[in-house]
A and B are shown apart, each in its own frame.
Chain A
Amino acid sequence: MLRRRPISRGSSSVAQRLLAGPAAALALTLGAACAPAAAPEPLAPGPQAQPAARTEGELVLYSARKEDLMQPVIDLFQEKTGVKVTVKSGAPGELALLIEQEKSSPRGDVYFTTDVATAESLRLKALLEPYKSPSAATIPDEFKATDGAWTGVIGRARTIMYNTRLLTPEQAPKSVFELTDARWKDKVAVASIREGGVRLWLASLILQKGEDFAVKYVNDLKNNGVKVLANHTEVRKAVGRGEVPVGLTNHYYYVFEKKDGSPVDQVYPDQGPNDVGTLVTPLVVAIMKGAQHPQAARAFVDFVLTPEGVQPMTTQEAEFPLVPGASLGDAGVPGVKPIDQIKRPSVDVTALAAAQQRAVELFTPVLGGP
């Protein structure tokens, strides 16, 4: 007769002991994972660091802007104030949703976004801390929230780029609304609706001219053979190569293409006395409500609104500062205008977010994004 001789003692269940083995190995790894995360490349403040009085030593920046472009500004700020900046990059909408989910325990201090509609949506949900920086006093009202919840730093103009070998300046289109003419059949390229700039442009169209007009306009464009390319970089390259004579992009893509040596020029459309003007959208900075480092956050906002702070952004990307009279980094490249020389439509920023959503619904099937 076989007698069962249990060898082990103890009464823990089978499953508990099953998990014990791997758990030991796991503990080591998770011990490391539980420890506060250290940033791999902390940038040490420079030798001239003079910590501003009563400013916290750290700042967490949620940035929707390409890291390459933010980094010089961050480096300058760190050198000047000694505040250590940690960056979390993400897409504008994602970061806004994250901020909303985090609202009971905010982890970020400053939100820098390329899409003003996301900042406005956060303001409407009372997730931003109003702050009116002294440096922002001269910025046109349309580029800052009335209560100071967000402030525009630099601007992007929605322009028409054309190939100078295919078109003379007289022949180039002067208005976005003439692109539906037969003259421009199969000759225009735009980026897909996945590009933020396109969404903002379509949203402002809806706000300025109404939804029916916008739908008709986009359909007319499509019937006129407009080429929808993946992004603005492809648009500028297509115009530069001469594949299409005309492209709709943000103004700094013209600067890049020009620097690449292509024969291109740009038009600020609809500048005539009876025209709506060229759309200018701001990149905005905002302080989050409940930020852990409010003093440092204000110092950062002040800094990026000064000529010194905005300089790296203008030189690198040729975006123009929104403070009138500030120097244009790329003033040497003809065709780029400073803010006070551009006639602009007025855009109701509060309605912009809803209009963007509507634009995505209406135009995604037509303008190529998935």
Chain B
Amino acid sequence: MRSARQIRGLGLALLPAALVLAPLAYLLALVLEAGPGTLVTAIGRAGPLELLANVGLLAAGTTAWALLLAAPLAWLGTRSDLRGARVVQWLAPLPLAIPPYVGAIVYASLLAPGGLVDTFLGGFSGGPSRAISGLLPIYSLGGGIFVLGLFTYPYLFLLLRAALLRLDPALEEAARSLGQGPWQSFLQVTLPAARPALLGGGLLVFLYAVVDFGVVSLLRVRTFTTVIYNYLLAGFSLAAAAGLSLVLVGIVALLLFLQQRTLGAGRYSQRGTRSGTSPRVRLGSWRWLGWAYLLLVLTLSLGVPLAVLAWQVARLGSPAEIAAFLGSQFGYLRNTLIVAVGGTTLALAAATALAWLASRVAGATLAGAFLQAGYAIPGTVLGLALVGLYLRATPWLYGTPLALAIAYFILYAAPAYQGARAALAQVPPSLEEAARALGRSPLQAFREVVVPLVRPGLAGAWLLSFILSVRELAATLILRPPGFDTLAVRIWVHMMDVGPDPRGAAVALLLVAAIAVTWLLLLIVRPPHTPMAFT
């Protein structure tokens, strides 16, 4: 039995989900129009088993590599006595500001046969050297895993770190007092408590590797997204690409469903105050290893890309010329911010509403699932589908920046939804129930009790979607109004075909700076984390 309120709530929940379903339906219509034969031939020609294996390896490898990078860092920062743990906290997430395809360009320029490293070594040996580029082939599946993991490990790091911080040390101490060794208490207390973070973060990275296009196309790894793009380039037919895109959406939907099942069962909210700080493991002379590890990760993910980009920018000319060039890019910066902020805020609003409704209105969970489906649609395919849709349904919308912002909403509502759900899941429902019992309406209870607690989490979810929107290229190339280029488009324009280029590097640095500044602003206005204390 559903009250009128429930039905209204469900209707509103389905609205944003419908926005995502519309392009999917359009793609399906294209495929059906072309006939099932087209899809079957397209899939057959692509070599589906080999593709699936490749994608699986890429995603699994990336997740493992990201975990290898993130887990020790999170542990070092929260459970060890390593000095400079604060440094870890501030620096480790920064690689998120560097778009992975920029990272791919940097490492390809370094490690390609005949690239910077080879030339540098060749200077010593007196001839062309292939030592490093032969040992570490960047144009390979391994290269793809390396770059993708390097620039996505912060997702895992942030979630793991938050989980470790939140964990009440009393639980671990209780385990120890019951006779368990440090390793056992880790396995039986810490690890299960970190499971949502591990699964959530791991899935985020895994999914990212599955749908990524920039890195795999630059490093020539054969995956779904690159095959789809080839069909677009050479085939002049949207139908085959649409069909393969729907297969990709199906795979991602399956992964999201699996995540739902594994995470849904347990309850992870915590009651009570944290009693004191966590026990710190004394590293002793092991701390040098800790430092070395820290240094290695930060060098690879921050130091090298920024240094190579800065070196390229220095080739632009004098500081005055560099400044002049950067000044000329501010219009593009403005464009980027308009569409990214617009799309991301839309995404967060819809995601929060749906996440909140998910536990209160039957069927809202399904709407939430639909909302996330957009993440899997390749950018170019989504762009072209939206063009067709806009011109049929809302022609006045096409050719405006809002059309592009909606594309970002469709693409990146998934991370916003995941973040909103994680944030809302931390708040015990009893808090809201208490407020309702004291006479507040559901909305007031939400606003006065839940929002202050989830604001940091929501801000984090907004930032994740924002970062993804700012660096989006494929859909932007299609949907942007002529003359309305974003920074990502300008990077592409300068690097078309030739690789690292001083102007492209300058725009890339501007993009990184834009993300970093927004991040800083969010950190400044974020309210202090309030402990959940009540009797």
Contacts and interface: CB of A to CB of B under 8 A. Distances in A.
B457 interface: no
Given A19-B353, A89-B493, A37 B484 contact: yes
A98 B384 CA distance: 6
B43 to A, nearest CB: 13
B49 interface: no
Contact of A364 (B230, B328, B447): B230
Contacts of A210: none
A360 B231 CA distance: 9
Contacts of A14: 5, 9, 441-443, 446
A325 B400 CA distance: 45
Interface residues of B, number: 82
A29 B341 contact: yes
Nearest to B483: A39
Contact of B443 (A18, A22, A38, A61): A18
A39 B484 contact: yes
Interface residues of A, number: 79
B2 interface: no
A105 B398 contact: yes
Interface in B1-55: 5, 8-9, 12-13, 45
B444 A15 contact: no
A370 B128 contact: no
B443 A23 contact: no
B483 A37 contact: yes
Interface stretch (A211-219, A235-243, A268-276, A314-322): A235-243
Interface stretch (B185-193, B218-226, B244-252, B421-429): B218-226
Contacts of B139: 230
A191 B344 CA distance: 40
Interface in A227-247: 230-234, 237-238, 241, 243
A370 to B, nearest CB: 4
B344 to A, nearest CB: 10
Interface string B107-123: 00000101000000000
A264 B478 CA distance: 40
Contacts of B232: 93-94, 97
B112 A26 contact: no
B497 A231 contact: yes
Contacts of B352: 18, 22
A61 B447 CA distance: 50
Nearest to B235: A357
Nearest to A196: B233
A246 to B, nearest CB: 17
B402 A33 contact: yes
Contact of B349 (A22, A101, A192): A22
A54 interface: no
B230 A370 contact: yes
Scoring A14, A21, A90, A108 by chain B CB atoms within 10 A of each residue's CB, the highest score goes to A14
A204 to B, nearest CB: 15
A13 B8 contact: yes
B150 interface: no
Nearest to B361: A15
Nearest to B222: A370
A247 B443 CA distance: 69
A88 to B, nearest CB: 4
Contacts of B346: 26, 30
Interface in A16-46: 16-19, 21-23, 25-26, 29-30, 32-42
Nearest to A30: B342
A32 B404 CA distance: 13
**Central interface residue in B8, B335, B438, B443, by most chain A CB within 10 Å:** B443
B227 interface: yes
A98 B381 CA distance: 10
A6 interface: yes
B439 interface: yes
B444 A7 contact: yes
Contact of B220 (A19, A39, A234, A369): A369
B342 A26 contact: yes
A40 B332 contact: yes
A19 B12 contact: yes
A162 B514 CA distance: 45
Interface string B320-358: 000000001011101100110110011011101100110
A70 to B, nearest CB: 11
Contacts of B477: 89-91, 94
B401 interface: yes
Given A6-B441, A13-B12, A14-B442, A101 B114 contact: no
B169 to A, nearest CB: 36
A340 interface: no
B114 A243 contact: yes
Given A23-B349, A30-B342, A86 B384 contact: no
Interface in B297-335: 328, 330-332, 334-335
Contacts of B8: 13, 15-16
Contacts of A234: 112, 114
A118 interface: yes
B365 interface: no
Nearest to A233: B498
Nearest to A32: B338
B220 A41 contact: no
A7 B447 CA distance: 14
A48 interface: no
B134 interface: no
Contacts of A96: 236
Contact of A237 (B114, B398, B444): B114
B383 to A, nearest CB: 8
Contacts of A230: 112, 139, 220
B496 interface: yes
Interface in A345-368: 353, 356-357, 359-361, 364, 368
Given A6-B441, A94-B380, A101-B387, A19 B345 contact: no
B509 interface: no
A166 interface: no
B530 to A, nearest CB: 20
A60 interface: yes
B13 A98 contact: no
A109 to B, nearest CB: 10
17 contacts: A6-B439, A8-B441, A8-B443, A14-B443, A18-B443, A22-B345, A23-B349, A29-B341, A29-B342, A40-B335, A66-B497, A90-B478, A101-B387, A121-B236, A232-B497, A234-B114, A370-B220
Given A89-B489, A360-B234, A361-B45, 12 more contacts: A5-B439, A8-B444, A14-B443, A15-B12, A18-B446, A30-B402, A30-B405, A42-B483, A91-B233, A101-B238, A370-B226, A370-B230
